Amino acid sequence: MSGFERSNNPDSHDAPGSSGRPWPDDFTLEDEQFAAELRAFFPIEDEELPPLYIQTLLDDDAQAPLDRSDLRRMTYRVKRTLGLPHKPLFTHQWAPSAWADQVSVEHVTRAVKRAGRPVMALVALMIFCMVTSMYLATPSFAQGLRLLFGDTGAQQVAHYPSNVAPEKHVTATTAAPPAQMQSFWLGQTSGDYVYQGMRTLPQEQYSRGPILDIQYVLGERTGQQTGSGILDIREFQISESLSAVLQSVQEGSASVVSVNGLNAVYVDGMWVTVTAPGLRTTWQSGTRSMLIFERDGVIFWIVGDQRDGLGEAQLVQAASQMGPTTMNTLVQSNLLSVRLVGAELSASLRDPIGYTNEVYAMIPRTASPDTAAGEFVTPGQPPQSLPSPLS
């Protein structure tokens, strides 16, 4: 109790002598003496109050706000006095059925109306941010499945595309590639491989002019080399109507490598067509190896056979040794290798392993090469157009 308050006991008074009533029971002799001195200086009945008197009353513990424990004790005493059970007056039901019963279209409509324009604007902004995030995440996901460096790379797909069309030759000419395109080769030999010759393939939908095809073959085959024995290098420039041309391969079969500081793509495997059970095309790993990269505007598709020992490391090593050359050098070396003057230069060259089942994704110039879908073509016949083995 404050020393300046009157006692709640009607038989006592906070100052002796005014009515002869004693001091409060909890006062000591010092308290009585101190209170008497204060009363002499500040007689309350004359409204002469001590400094900060009101603040002292407000700071009293009796005036402090109630906390949770006080409220619980008060609730308990009230219930005990009234004989009420000690249970919550209101219970929360979180079952889906109970929640569904309490929520209706009318309730939602009223809540929206009460929310007002600022709240609805905030909700609309949040929805816009979510939609934008999904839109931005979709290209990132597509780019993760598309390894693109320059104008070429690999498009990874979950399965063989269903809308593959036969590739169309732009022209029947087999003239030399464009004069501005620089040619590259490995020299007369590269490891166990010897230069076999070159040929120009007809211009395709994805190429600018004919395609230069250079081949090397195994000089002496060992017992462990059971593959095709061919190292095939195709060189071309991309068509002006396209922004990219990609090899379509199975998901997980492509990885990023480096060729003399240039980013490249290594692909393990090829598409193969099987006739049982039913006609279908599936991915086969462990046979064909392929390296894809671009240098000085020239796209390189290098194909080897893993059964001959041409894996990722061997293809990267060979590509690192490639140097510029001229068509005259390739032709002269071709004549030297086949030793048949006047014979058709392409007579001894063969298609590399898996060539007829390759699938190319051609991205138009007007679309983004990173994310846009393209047209799928193949140099062979799509498996959908082949006759059924049951017919």
Residue type, 226: T
pLDDT at 17 over 50: no
Q: Are residues 241 and 183 in the same domain?
A: yes
- Residue range 261-276: average pLDDT? 93
Same domain, 178 and 265: yes
Terminal Cα-to-Cα distance of the chain (whole angstroms): 108
Answer positive or negative: Cα dihedral of 196, 360, 241, 257.
negative
Residue 198's pLDDT is what?
A: 92
Q: What pLDDT does residue 154 have?
A: 96
Reported confidence tier of residue 26, pLDDT bands at 50, 70, 90: confident
Q: 262 versus 110: which is more confidently predicted?
A: 262
Q: Give how many domains the chain has, as a whole number.
A: 3
| Model pLDDT, residue 63 | 58
**C-alpha to C-alpha distance for 108 and 371, rounded to whole angstroms:** 40
Q: Do 132 and 169 sit in the same domain of this protein?
A: no
Q: For the segment 299-340, what is each residue's pLDDT rounded down to a tens digit? A: 999 999 999 999 999 999 999 999 999 999 998 877 665 544
Same domain, 118 and 191: no
- Residues 118, 10, single domain; the answer is no
Chain segment 165-203, per-residue pLDDT in tens: 998 877 645 556 666 799 999 999 999 999 999 999 999
Q: Ranked by mean pLDDT, which of 3-17, 104-118, 323-337, 375-389 comes out on top?
A: 323-337
Is the domain of 85 the same as that of 113?
no
Rounded to 10 degrees, the C-alpha dihedral 285/288/294/296 comes to 170
Quick check: is 145 in a domain?
no
Compare 219 and 389 and report the one with higher pLDDT.
Answer: 219
Confidence of residue 244 (pLDDT cuts 50, 70, 90): very high
Q: Say if residue 234 is in the same domain as residue 127.
A: no
Token code pair at residue 321: 């040794």
pLDDT given for residue 142 in this prediction: 41
Strands (E), the chain: 146-149, 152-157, 164-166, 183-185, 189-190, 193-201, 211-218, 230-236, 242-250, 254-259, 262-274, 280-295, 298-305, 323-325, 360-364, 375-378
- Apex 17 CA angle, 13 and 20, nearest 5: 60
Same domain? For 61 and 194 the reply is: no
Are residues 238 and 297 in contact, defined by beta-carbon separation less than 8 angstroms? no
Query: Is 259 within the bounds of a domain?
Result: yes
Same domain, 123 and 198: no
Q: Is residue 56 part of a domain?
A: yes
Does some domain include residue 391?
Answer: no
Domain finish residue from 108, 139, 170: 139
What was the pLDDT predicted at 13? 44
Task: Tell me the one-letter amino acid at 339.
Answer: R
Is the pLDDT at 147 greater than 80, yes or no?
yes
The verdict on 125 and 156 lying in the same domain is no
User: Which of 369 and 265 is assigned the larger pLDDT?
Assistant: 265
Do the domain assignments include residue 358?
yes
Assess if residue 275 is contained within a domain: yes
Is the pLDDT confidence value at 21 over 60? no
- pLDDT of 288: 97
**Is the domain of 192 the same as that of 329?**
yes
Residue 263, amino acid: N
Q: What is the pTM of this model?
A: 0.61
387: pLDDT strictly greater than 80: no
pLDDT in tens, 343-379: 344 447 899 999 999 999 999 998 888 877 889 999 9
pLDDT band at 33 (very low <50, low <70, confident <90, very high): confident
- Would you place residue 20 in the very low, low, confident or very high pLDDT band (cuts 50, 70, 90)? low
48/162 Cα distance (integer angstroms):
100
Q: What's residue 277's pLDDT?
A: 75
Task: List the domain range (segments joined by +) for residue 13.
Answer: 1-91
- Say if residue 85 is in the same domain as residue 104: no
Token readout for 138 is 């979709």
In a domain, 209, yes or no: yes
Of 94-103, 132-141, 230-239, which range is least confident?
Answer: 132-141
Chain length of the chain: 391
Establish if 287 belongs to a structural domain: yes
